[in-house]
Homo-oligomer: A and B are copies of this chain.
Amino acid sequence: MEQAPAEEWLKRRRNFQKMLSENAMEGCLITQNVGIYYFTGSMQTGYLFIPAEGEAAYYVRRSLTRALSESSVRTVDLGSFRQFGSRLAEDYPKLFASGTPRIGADLDVLPAQLYLRLVEMLPDAKWMDASVLLRRLRSVKSPYEISRIEKAAQAAAAAVEHGILQLREGMTELELMATLEQVMRNAGHAGLMRMRGYNQEMPTGMVAAGEAAAEPTYFDGPAGSRGLSAAVPQSSSLRRIKHGEPILIDIGCCIDGYVIDQTRTAVIGRLTPHLQAAYETAEAILRKTEAALAPGVSPENLYEQAIEMAAEAGLADHFMGYGPDQVKFLGHGIGLELDEWPVLAKGFRDPLEPGMTIAVEPKFTFPGLGVVGIENTYLMTENGFRTLTISPEKLYELSV
């Protein structure tokens, strides 16, 4: 099991402490598994408290044994949860001396029931939402983090290469997906990609073809998809793949916690000229985005530029979903979670920085016909970008 260098965990905590100070928070309680892992190197059940100044502490319910062997930070038994409020006050007397400390927490993921218990335990604390700080901090990746995404990219590319060889008319979408999954699992794929958004979930992406790919759904992505039933309303369905229809292979892979996201479009035979042209417009948007992709650029501008190109091609209504089911972004940050920052969308104006990893996914949806598009994950560098996705970029046209 590879881990980040020992000093990296400390650096992450130090950077976050700086953010806490700048935002007038005296400490932050991290409750989410992904957040705890990011700062400690361990993902056991418990709470991580990071004071703006001083040493963090990881209060573990289970497994303490494992947390002690993995964690880079002071790690102790959580003990009675009822006493946790007074325990924190004892462990951080200076911080709680004011009587009304401002304490951050990951309120975007912490369930209300648990939040209300914490409020009750520390009734004088002023609880703040630290989720924006956490998302900003995590948007810039370290060399170790990038190496994990690169490993995931290798597994995803191997899966596509194998899957394309197996693809046959009459296969179900799910059969093709299961074939891809087996390759990625054997390479170490965790079996799911973590998502931060409430009610969002994703095992390995989607393989969807023809009109099934274009059915609208709740999932916060540009392609729809029929899925398996009203209770599993996304990703692959049991529909059989036909000749001449677009097959969207939008997959990811999670290695050592880190996720890649990529899309390729395939067809058995040829696409109709209209869909072929839409695919080419998606590739052209990707090229134009790459041409602008550099530190200092506003994510919002990349989105607006893509919207303009789609409109110029007469495809405005089909871009990133169809009609009322369109999503309002061109891409998203990616790392320990599939839905990280920055989002290439209106309102995201903080300039791109070296170390950010971003999936860019121009797609066009045609109800009754299908979805075409392409997606790469990019690393922002000092001068521009490096493409992390390694699958060949093309429309995969098969003769079988």
**Residues of chain A at the chain B interface (Cβ within 8 Å):** 1-3, 31-33, 37, 41-45, 62-66, 70, 105, 107-116, 129, 131, 172, 174-175, 177-179, 181-182, 185-186, 188, 190-192, 194, 198-199, 201, 203-204, 215-218, 220, 224, 228-233, 235, 238, 254, 256-258, 324-325, 336
Given contacts A45-B199, A111-B108, A199-B32, contact A217 B63 (CB under 8 A): yes
Residue of B nearest to A177 (CB): B185
Q: Assess the A218–B62 pair: CB atoms within 8 A.
A: yes
Copies of this chain, whole number: 2
Can you report 12 residue pairs joining A to B where beta carbons are below 8 Å apart? A3-B229, A31-B198, A33-B218, A41-B230, A45-B199, A62-B216, A65-B325, A112-B112, A188-B228, A188-B238, A190-B228, A191-B191
Given contacts A41-B230, A185-B174, contact A111 B109 (CB under 8 A): yes
Q: Assess the A115–B114 pair: CB atoms within 8 A.
A: no
Q: Assess the B1–A230 pair: CB atoms within 8 A.
A: yes
Per the bound structure, the CA–CA distance linking A41 and B232 in Å amounts to: 11
Q: Assess the A188–B174 pair: CB atoms within 8 A.
A: yes
Residue of B nearest to A205 (CB): B191
Residues on B with beta carbons closer than 8 Å to the beta carbon of A107: 111-113, 116
Of B129, B203, B254, which is within 8 A of A113 by CB?
Answer: B129
Per the bound structure, the CA–CA distance linking A311 and B181 in Å amounts to: 43
**A215, chain B: closest CB distance, angstroms:** 7
**A188, chain B: closest CB distance, angstroms:** 6
Given contacts A63-B216, A111-B109, A174-B188, contact A231 B336 (CB under 8 A): yes
Residues on B with beta carbons closer than 8 Å to the beta carbon of A116: 107
Per the bound structure, the CA–CA distance linking A42 and B227 in Å amounts to: 13
Per the bound structure, the CA–CA distance linking A198 and B175 in Å amounts to: 31
Residues on B with beta carbons closer than 8 Å to the beta carbon of A109: 111
Given contacts A229-B1, A230-B1, contact A181 B185 (CB under 8 A): yes
Residues on B with beta carbons closer than 8 Å to the beta carbon of A112: 105, 107-108, 110-112, 114-115
Residue of B nearest to A257 (CB): B231
Per the bound structure, the CA–CA distance linking A231 and B188 in Å amounts to: 12
**A141, chain B: closest CB distance, angstroms:** 14
Q: Assess the B186–A43 pair: CB atoms within 8 A.
A: no
**A289, chain B: closest CB distance, angstroms:** 24
Per the bound structure, the CA–CA distance linking A105 and B256 in Å amounts to: 35
Residues on B with beta carbons closer than 8 Å to the beta carbon of A199: 31-33, 45
Residues on B with beta carbons closer than 8 Å to the beta carbon of A1: 228-230
Of B64, B179, B218, B229, which is within 8 A of A45 by CB?
Answer: B218
Residues on B with beta carbons closer than 8 Å to the beta carbon of A108: 111-113
Given contacts A62-B325, A182-B181, A188-B228, contact A44 B218 (CB under 8 A): yes
**A343, chain B: closest CB distance, angstroms:** 16
Per the bound structure, the CA–CA distance linking A229 and B257 in Å amounts to: 8
Per the bound structure, the CA–CA distance linking A232 and B37 in Å amounts to: 10
Residues on B with beta carbons closer than 8 Å to the beta carbon of A218: 33, 43-45, 62-63, 66
Residue of B nearest to A35 (CB): B199
- Extra A-B contacts (17), CB below 8 Å, given A63-B325, A108-B113, A175-B185: A3-B229, A31-B198, A33-B199, A42-B233, A44-B217, A44-B218, A62-B216, A62-B218, A63-B324, A64-B324, A111-B198, A113-B129, A174-B186, A178-B182, A181-B191, A228-B256, A231-B256
